[in-house]
Amino acid sequence: GNSVTQMEGPVTLSEEAFLTINCTYTATGYPSLFWYVQYPGEGLQLLLKATKADDKGSNKGFEATYRKETTSFHLEKGSVQVSDSAVYFCALYNAGNMLTFGGGTRLMVKP
């Protein structure tokens, strides 16, 4: 079956630090991969996506590259801001209409 594993948090960084949140997946075929962000007290927002191997999704300074050889989709940002503090979810879609989510990683950015 499908599964998504992401690093446990919380991840605490100082403002302007480099961010990496690891995400690996298990799936048959060729899934699409997503990062969602959840700000405190809110629902999930789609942050970025990649639909095939070697695609790079990017948005708001965040990037993630679909690596089929390592079954990974790590999220990166070169310089985080306090406003990036949130919970980040890696997810995959593989046929049907359901998303499989990772456990979420809480990011806390301190001024």
Task: Enumerate residues 6+ apart whose C-beta is below 8 A from 108.
Answer: 10, 11, 12, 13, 85
- The answer to the question of residue 104 lying near another protein (CB under 8 A) is yes
Interacting span for another protein (CB under 8 A) from 16-24, 44-52, 60-68, 69-77:
44-52
Interacting span for another protein (CB under 8 A) from 21-29, 65-73, 77-85, 90-98:
90-98
**How many whole angstroms separate alpha carbon 17 and alpha carbon 31?**
31
Tell which one of 21, 89, 107, 109 touches another protein (CB under 8 A).
Answer: 89
- The answer to the question of residue 43 lying near another protein (CB under 8 A) is yes
Comparing CB distances to another protein, the nearer of 61 and 103 is 103
3-state class (DSSP) for residue 109 = strand
- The answer to the question of residue 36 lying near another protein (CB under 8 A) is yes
Task: Compute CA distances 53 → 3, 44, 56, 57, 73, whole Å.
Answer: 17, 24, 9, 11, 10
Comparing CB distances to another protein, the nearer of 40 and 111 is 40
